[in-house]
């Protein structure tokens, strides 16, 4: 009787171990499948405070992705990165081929201590910024509350009231740009502050976490009346461009520029994977340029 009970207990323990092992093995396999199925590339390792970060949808079905050196990249890519991401650090480079012919290049850089993944065509022309996701969010909507990209919930928790800006920031504008009209402000994940201001053109001025000036970028130089517009009021072409070029982007603020009551241009401020951009469109919604802010 005792021997039967012993065998029964051993059998139960062995069965539980087998189920647990199989379950763990399956979870690990599923985890790997997430990376493969989303054509993901690791751009930032996991840390004590957060999960590993990947860029996704990097390789079309049927294509082959190979790691290459920076010397294998078209010169146009380096020119683009230098012009738009001054001071960047190159992290990873890949070529994507279809049937042995180069289709595109994938480049991962570090800019302001934030990873950015970009796609270029076979000639080295910019195509888009890849969406980033945390390891646990590779599938599904791509973000979670409290995560690195929780701003995608559209709640605009990063918006700062102009009246709430620090004395240091207000003092900087009073001293250096006294004719600026402060229109909007954002707080970054790194506690930096970006202030959008109007002075004939539209400007974005960045300050670090101590409210010390970092940079000032002119987004558009056109004169005219600047008025805020909603995302729904943008031309369809502009919305399509943003969705295609900055997948997963967050709409922050937009302005129309009018002369004698006629719209001449639009400027849209977006957050793409925690990097801020100001994007200019003409009156019809055709892309004009984008400016990397911070």
- pLDDT by residue (tens digit) across 116-146? 999 999 999 999 999 999 999 998 999 999 9
- Say which CATH topology domain 162-292 has: Nuclear Transport Factor 2; Chain: A, (3.10.450)
Task: State the pLDDT at residue 137.
Answer: 95
What's the mean pLDDT in 34-45? 90
Contact 98, 62 (CB under 8 A): yes
pLDDT value at 1 more than 90: no
Domain ranges of the chain: 41-149, 162-292
End-to-end alpha carbon distance in the chain: 74
pLDDT value at 239 more than 90: yes
Handedness of CA 133, 135, 137, 143 (dihedral sign): negative
For 133, what's the count of Cα atoms within 13 Å in the CB-facing half-sphere?
22
CA distance to 59, 206, 229, 257, 258, per residue, from 118 (Å): 12, 23, 29, 30, 33
pLDDT class of 209 with cuts at 50, 70, 90: very high
Helix (H) or strand (E) holding 66: strand 64-67
Which residue shows structure tokens 């719209």? 263
Give pLDDT tens digits for 139-159.
899 999 999 999 999 899 899
Show the tokens assigned to 257.
Answer: 């520029």
Contact 267, 227 (CB under 8 A): no
What pTM does this model have? 0.85
Whole-angstrom distance, CA of residue 96 vs CA of residue 60:
9
Q: State whether CATH 1.10.10 applies to domain 41-149.
A: no
What's the mean pLDDT in 32-50? 86
Task: State the pLDDT at residue 9.
Answer: 54
Rg over alpha carbons for the chain, rounded to the nearest Å, is: 24
Handedness of CA 211, 213, 215, 220 (dihedral sign): positive
Task: State the pLDDT at residue 36.
Answer: 82
* SS3 assignment, position 3: helix
Give pLDDT tens digits for 11-26.
445 444 444 444 333 3
Task: State the pLDDT at residue 4.
Answer: 52
């Amino acid at each position: 009787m005792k021997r039967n009970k012993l065998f029964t207990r051993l059998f139960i323990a062995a069965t539980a171990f087998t189920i647990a092992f199989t379950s763990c093995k399956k979870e690990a396999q599923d985890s790997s499948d997430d990376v493969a199925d989303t054509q993901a590339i690791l751009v930032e390792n996991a840390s004590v405070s957060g999960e590993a970060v990947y860029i996704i949808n990097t390789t079309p079905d049927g294509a082959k992705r190979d790691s290459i050196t920076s010397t294998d990249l078209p010169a146009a890519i380096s020119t683009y990165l230098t012009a738009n991401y001054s001071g960047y650090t190159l992290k990873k480079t890949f070529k994507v081929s279809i049937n042995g012919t180069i289709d595109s290049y994938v480049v991962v850089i570090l800019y302001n201590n934030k990873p950015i993944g970009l796609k270029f065509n076979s000639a080295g022309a910019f195509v888009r910024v890849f969406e980033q996701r945390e390891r646990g969010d590779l599938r599904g909507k791509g973000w979670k509350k409290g995560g690195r990209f929780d701003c995608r919930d559209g709640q605009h928790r990063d918006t700062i009231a102009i009246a709430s800006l620090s004395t240091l920031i207000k003092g900087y504008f009073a001293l250096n740009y006294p004719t600026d009209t402060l229109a909007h402000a954002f707080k970054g994940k790194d506690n930096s502050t970006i202030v959008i201001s109007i002075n004939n053109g539209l400007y974005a001025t960045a300050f670090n976490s101590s409210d010390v000036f970092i940079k000032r970028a002119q987004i558009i130089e056109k004169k005219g009346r600047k008025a805020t517009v909603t995302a729904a009021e943008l031309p369809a072409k502009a919305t399509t461009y943003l969705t295609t070029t900055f997948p997963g982007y967050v709409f922050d603020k937009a302005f129309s520029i009018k002369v004698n009551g006629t719209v001449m241009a639009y400027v849209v401020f977006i957050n793409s994977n925690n990097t801020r951009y100001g994007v200019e469109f003409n009156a019809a919604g055709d892309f004009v340029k984008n400016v990397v802010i911070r």
